[in-house]
Amino acid sequence: MRIAIAAVGRMKAGPERELVARYLDRATATGRPLALTGFEVTELAESRAAGAAARKAEEARALRAALPGGVLIMLDERGRSMGSDAFAAQLARWRDDGRASVGFVIGGADGIDPDFLRTADLALSFSPMVWPHQLVRIMLAEQLYRATTILAGHPYHRGE
């Protein structure tokens, strides 16, 4: 199953970008024997539309076009919170159900278009707090790596 991330906003070169790359490289290596592949990020420019609603709608069109289809997960502070074990188990269920891909969406500064959000298979929250897209990308990359280690029985994850 292919894992894809589409994010509004571009990360500059530096430690944040390097950390995302490190976690996704690790997820790729650990995920390969588990039939989890891809782990790629597509960065999209922020909309220049005049109003927030128009910006969100324009970004939603770009995000939708950037993803391969399949399961759609939106990162949203109002979404469902889940632990790492449950997250890994859900990815494994989708994989075992024959889903070809899972696409993760990280919206722009104005958030995600409500109509687009309603199309999600899962709205996922890392916290009720709002985080900058750079940190959300790091947290998502780390959780994807953690999920592969959980599924592989690797000692990186030492949760209960």
Q: Which residues belong to the annotated binding site?
A: 75, 107, 126-131
CA atoms within 13 A on the CB side of 40: 9
Residue 21's region, left for phi above 0, alpha for psi from -120 to 50, else beta, is alpha
Q: In this structure, is the dihedral angle defined by the CA atoms of residues 122, 96, 151 and 102, taken in order, positive or negative?
A: negative
Q: Give the C-alpha separation, 100 to 151, whole Å.
A: 18
Q: Are 104 and 63 in contact (CB under 8 A)?
A: no
- Kindly tell me the burial class for residue 7, based on how many C-beta atoms sit within 10 Å of its own C-beta (0-12, 13-18, 19 or more): buried
Q: Are 77 and 143 in contact (CB under 8 A)?
A: no
Question: Which residues define the annotated binding site for S-adenosyl-L-methionine?
Answer: 75, 107, 126-131
Residue 153's region, left for phi above 0, alpha for psi from -120 to 50, else beta, is left
